[in-house]
Structure 1
């Protein structure tokens, strides 16, 4: 290893010299492999780096063989990334010997909590901005599913948004959040009853997978997330993936990802939020794309006054598929509009009617 780079949450960038390839950009998760130092020999997995992936095109440090970290001693008995060479034990909020077990065991529902569900991790900051620009006093939790990155520490966005979030819950095989949960269901209950969230945002971690086929994309899980919210008595709010900049026809207007996940998988229904102010051409296309939604799905056109300005002040760079906020204005405006709608649906305390 020849140099250290940026560090955030549970991630450390570094540069390593690889025979035949020269210098390689790599990433270590210190909670898994320890803290690498200049001069260390590191064992690398170069799969993502070799493919030059747009998200996460790093070589990943598997081990620092000459200076291994101490063996984990707990607490926690949840094994995530199970039966992979880097499986890790964490303490789950739903485990029997945790302080929150009784809370999760007794929690029956979300008490009407609105939950913004998005296909892509890049929607998170815009949805959060939409909530807080509408009501800055609301507590917002992020629930990260395992369709993309498994390690929450991989996300620089989460590191930068930490002060604006009530907390991060990692569910399924994902790990590294402030709270860990076995399922999306217990993760949502933890967001509400442990973190005290008024609103939750659910998406996969960074690095989604798509194949260009109708069902072969990791964002299908957004529909299943809506089902979980419905079962638990929350209100699912769909953040639509909208674009007039994506060169792929299947993602122009309302992406087929949103139409499939929300229109065909979310069987309990979901409120879909379309932002006003898209312009006549794109607005007409979005209206046409949403005309075929099943009756169980309600479409709400949301006013976006002030949201564009709020997005322009984002504490993190807004980027999706390599395109910035000005290039993908409709996408980020749609996520922010979903956040605004969710903020307006937060139930009033019992003593306020």
Structure 2
């Protein structure tokens, strides 16, 4: 299940919040092992790697050729263990794995937010955009802030993709634009930690003071190419959570006319399953009002069977291009940039605009 390798750090590469990338020389065990690899360490878990350190590596992602996870991961720096950290908290993430980590949940007794969260049971009508892929996050955020530049937007990260929020360079670059990040379920490393999506939404609203939230998985969508075998199913569950807490769910269907796979063109089958089969509570299905005519016909045809209980809500998107291109991150989804898949990013931005309109309605 794990491909283990020993290595030695030979050079620093780069770093961002919560992550350090280094160059590692690998002690080969097979003829096809690379001589050197890019390796990623999370210092909060394993300590800070330095040149000359011997490190224990997990090279599964490299062996499988995973695009998002194309790193060797540093599991330990065995000759220089980090000091113990005595901190409050008894919530365990990545439970019963070798790197299970103890964190302080936003609503547990030792948390300074306990008083603010203990009695909260709803999110007071807060609009929440629910998207399938992590790559939608910056586009949704651009759509919100284009119309409501002072809105406090929180990111609620689910555990369908990367577990450590630190893995996401996109999230690191977006931090100045966000009220904060809440990591839910087995995900960890956010500004606040929560047990599940429900408590994560409450933490976003009442702990971070968010006016609006965006729910997506972390980087690294899992899919098997089958009707139900994909991690984005959780997007439908998130819609139900938003409704159960008295929020306003805005679903961002995954729209594209550039994906080479037929099942993801027009509206992805992931969105049709998550929002059409899993989401039992009504949601606004956000769609650009200015899609190309042929694509618009396909999109509305695929979404029509989902209504009711949902309703399609349109919003103009072409004027959001400037906001998208002004983001401090490079837009990318499945290896395609903005120019290669404009419909995808403009659709996510339109969902942000729909949610922002909900803020105006709340006053």
TM-score past 0.5 threshold: yes
* Separation (CA, whole Å) in 1 of partners of 2:150 and 2:361: 13
Residues 231-246 of structure 1 mapped to structure 2, 5 A cutoff: 231-246=244-259
Q: Is the 8 A contact 1:113 1:347 kept in 2?
A: no
**Number of residues paired by the alignment?**
350
Q: Is the 8 A contact 2:104 2:110 kept in 1?
A: no
TM-score by length of 1: 0.97
Q: Is the 8 A contact 2:88 2:110 kept in 1?
A: no
**Is the deviation greater in 70-79 or in 113-122?**
70-79
Deviation at 1:300, TM superposition (A): 1.1
What CA deviation, in whole Å up to 9, does each residue of 1:214-235 have, x standing for no partner?
A: 0000000000000000000000
Alignment-derived partner of residue 18 in structure 2: 10
* Separation (CA, whole Å) in 1 of partners of 2:174 and 2:307: 35
- Name the SS for the 1:346 alignment partner: helix
1:222 is aligned to 2:230 = no
Deviation at 1:347, TM superposition (A): 5.9
Deviation at 1:101, TM superposition (A): 1.2
Alignment-derived partner of residue 152 in structure 1: 165
What CA deviation, in whole Å up to 9, does each residue of 1:26-67 have, x standing for no partner?
A: 100010000000110000000011112110211100000110
Deviation at 1:277, TM superposition (A): 2.1
1:74 is aligned to 2:82 = no
What CA deviation, in whole Å up to 9, does each residue of 1:247-301 have, x standing for no partner?
A: 1110000000000000110001211011122211111111111121141101112
* Separation (CA, whole Å) in 1 of partners of 2:257 and 2:307: 24
Which of 117, 120, 134 in structure 1 is aligned with 2:147?
134
For structure 2, the residue ranges without an aligned partner over 5 or more in a row are: 1-8, 29-33
Q: Is the 8 A contact 1:93 1:181 kept in 2?
A: yes
Alignment-derived partner of residue 277 in structure 1: 290
1:87 is aligned to 2:100 = yes
Alignment-derived partner of residue 137 in structure 2: 124
What CA deviation, in whole Å up to 9, does each residue of 1:50-104 have, x standing for no partner?
A: 1121102111000001101112312211100000000000111011121111221
Q: Is the 8 A contact 2:127 2:211 kept in 1?
A: yes
Alignment-derived partner of residue 179 in structure 1: 192
Q: Is the 8 A contact 1:240 1:331 kept in 2?
A: no
Alignment-derived partner of residue 265 in structure 2: 252
**Is the deviation greater in 235-244 or in 216-225?**
235-244
- Name the SS for the 1:272 alignment partner: strand
- Name the SS for the 2:306 alignment partner: coil
For structure 1, the residue ranges without an aligned partner over 5 or more in a row are: none
* Separation (CA, whole Å) in 1 of partners of 2:147 and 2:280: 29
* Separation (CA, whole Å) in 1 of partners of 2:266 and 2:104: 42
Alignment-derived partner of residue 6 in structure 2: none
Runs of 4+ in 1 over 2 A off after TM superposition: none
1:26 is aligned to 2:39 = yes
Q: Is the 8 A contact 1:166 1:195 kept in 2?
A: yes
Which of 49, 53, 59 in structure 2 is aligned with 1:40?
53
TM-score by length of 2: 0.95
Q: Is the 8 A contact 1:119 1:204 kept in 2?
A: yes
* Separation (CA, whole Å) in 2 of partners of 1:15 and 1:52: 18
* Separation (CA, whole Å) in 1 of partners of 2:217 and 2:342: 21
**Is the deviation greater in 290-299 or in 258-267?**
290-299
